[in-house]
Structure 1
Amino acid sequence: MNKDYRKVLSGTALEYYDTREAVNAIEPGSYEGLPYTSRILAEQLVRRCAPEDLTASLEQLIYRKRDLDFPWYPARVVCHDILGQTALVDLAGLRDAIAEEGGDPSKVNPVVPTQLLVVFFLYFEHGGD
């Protein structure tokens, strides 16, 4: 988690990230011109983006550029059982490949919290009398 632009709300123990300050540090007054959705994306960048990538990532929003991959850090990923099963197989495969190359497979983990929802269906072929 990025600690730059983290501030304490006066009179409380609550902390927040000053997205307006981060954006305006790059281009003064530009925060007010950002669409609402871009402000939300900027906030997640200020909170989670690596400090060395923050300026370049925010410039993508400020200047409406599209020359870099946009880092997206959702708070949580929820996978249904079918997609989650595929993700688990991919994760296991990555860990096996890392282990075969002599690496530490325990370091291969999801970047964001992930929840797997498993739905069990019961099918009845014959009902009772």
Structure 2
Amino acid sequence: MTIINNSQYRKPLPNSNVDYFDTQAAVDAIKPGAYATLPYTSRVLAENLVRRCDPDMLNDALKQIIEGKQDLDFPWYPARVVCHDILGQTALVDLAGLRDAIAAKGGDPAKVNPVVPTQLIVDHSLAV
């Protein structure tokens, strides 16, 4: 699985060998001072966009957060998906069916995988 990180707002953290993504600079480049007025949850979504969004869509997506509009499909890039046993089983069946269909057409079924890490939680308890 390939995870794309944007480099436009990637900066070195002073006095270390670690980089960070300057979400405040990205938001304030669109509307100065806007980052300070964003709710925390919007800041988290903005950071996700600065890290992972297609660079051609980044400004439009950030502008949508800043202005509180819903004009575009929001590009969301979760770090992982956690499936409960009921919905997770359905997802596994869908993936298995897709892999069978790819194999029947002569393709490589091993290439059919979720695009983000996915965890299946199975919680069954027995009452005796």
TM tier relative to shorter chain: 0.7 to 0.9
Structure 2: stretches of 5+ with no match in the other structure: none
Q: CA separation in 2, counterparts of 1:50 and 1:98?
A: 28
Question: 1:2 touches 1:51 (CA, 8 Å); kept in 2?
Answer: no
Letter in 2 for 1:91: L
Distance of 1:13 and 1:90 partners within structure 2? 42
In structure 2, what residue type is equivalent to 1:111?
V
Distance 1:24 1:107, change over 3 A: farther
Is 1:118–2:122 an aligned residue pair?
Answer: yes
2:68 is equivalent to residue 60 of structure 1: no
Deviation, structure 1 residue 108? 2.9
Larger deviation, residues 101-110 vs 89-98: 101-110
Q: Alignment partner of 1:59: what SS?
A: helix
Q: How far off its partner does 1:119 sit?
A: 2.6
CA shift, 1:70, in A, is 1.0
Q: CA RMSD in A?
A: 2.1
Q: 1:82 to 1:9 in 2, by over 3 A?
A: same
Question: Sequence identity of aligned pairs in percent?
Answer: 68
Distance in 1 between residues matched to 2:127 and 2:111, nearest whole Å: 40
SS of residue in 2 equivalent to 1:12: coil
* Number of aligned residues: 124
1:3 paired residue number = 6
Taking a change above 3 Å as real, the CA distance of residues 57 and 120 of structure 1, as seen in their structure-2 partners, is same
Name 1:92's counterpart in structure 2: 96
Tell me the amino acid that sits aligned with residue 19 of structure 2. E
Q: Is the 8 A contact 2:6 2:53 kept in 1?
A: no
**TM-score, length-scaled by structure 1:** 0.80
